[in-house]
Structure 1
């Protein structure tokens, strides 16, 4: 008796939306582990972060893009170029909005960009725990009138509500295709990139409003030592001396806490004990200097 063959589906999915709507939280929830940094500050994500979800019947490659906003510097220009170009490279777009946020010029700008593409779009209404069912229906009607979405799915990326349903709908929309990555690979970014992002996340989290997004992290060295520990040396780049003082903290307390929190995530990533050494360096106006943007991993020529 001839065995029935199962169709394997695959495709690329872009996660877009305004800053701070929960895109990175959603990506981490879908993949099942932390590959995108999360912060309560806007514009946390600066590069396309690819997350890979592999099942027996499908492989979906997700791209978490920078939040779409009006650029204020060369780094901002780079982030918007990444976000817009991604729309042309994928099989499906997930447009994430907040259930409790008002529809404004930012949302209108994104919808205008969506009208320029032929790629199917899912509308994901995130943070549904913050509104009543009646308010949610109003949000759905508001967006339905502005764009012919392929699907509209209310979710909570933080709690995981409706995320399994979302994944099933994504697979349903995918075409038959190859497996692009090994089954155990969850991202295409090198370890250096992920480690730098984990450190930067801790800086943003601990410094709150004191440090704007003028922070970059450069991994100077990763080396396995004879005792089995992995040595990681990293430099935190800031734009002003006052920011350096804040990150180091009184008697080095802030930098020590950044290191302790980051080390835990890095050890989980590498599956090994880690010795993390951090330095802080001032590079004035680095976000507007093309050569320094390239040095810190923001290469415009790649997009």
Structure 2
């Protein structure tokens, strides 16, 4: 069985849902707790065994690349001042065994187009796609990351493409891409064949309450399909349309995540993520919990 070692992270978006915070700072660099969102997504990928990360970027996003580069002056000052913990935190952002590559998306033409921009690096290998504004939180596990690794294990069993899903309230299904699993009931950590996908179904028409959460494992074949995928919703090349074409050729599975997702691409999801990660941080959790109790009591 083929091992997934490459992940595409599309970071070329404008971040309009979190303006004005993202006017001059890439939305992926906004902090959740003590780390930028993009660092948490990269850590998730590395924990799952990814060794090559392809950032699909654009002009104005150089701060993301700089974050994963060495900062010798900062490191030297931390060394001189004996701030060993802080020094380790900046030196270990990119593990030595992990390669981070950047490619440009020349114009905003959708998620499908962003993925296609990395085709030359992917070659004929299967790969992961990880959206940078979605965090997957697994607080009850040692590493905090089990779902990406679990989905990769599901792929390795039969090399069926995987789409990570999470149950949402039925009345909210119209906000998401929804998978059709023919009425099957899934538990966390399980994968099940899907019959189709519906993007933002009309209220009351969703085939399930299993929403796509921004994690995929796909074969290289999807790149060929993307080359001929016509523009879809919003006049953009949609990855969902290419996956629908792929489903006609090969079985695909929905992987039911065990944790919970936080959409940091919108203001409420971003605030929720900061609360959750802040409460889980051993350095801030107790004081933040006490602060929130005081606020709720007022």
Q: TM-score per shorter chain, which class?
A: 0.3 to 0.5
Q: Which has the larger radius of gyration?
A: 1
TM-score (norm 1): 0.32
TM-score (norm 2): 0.32
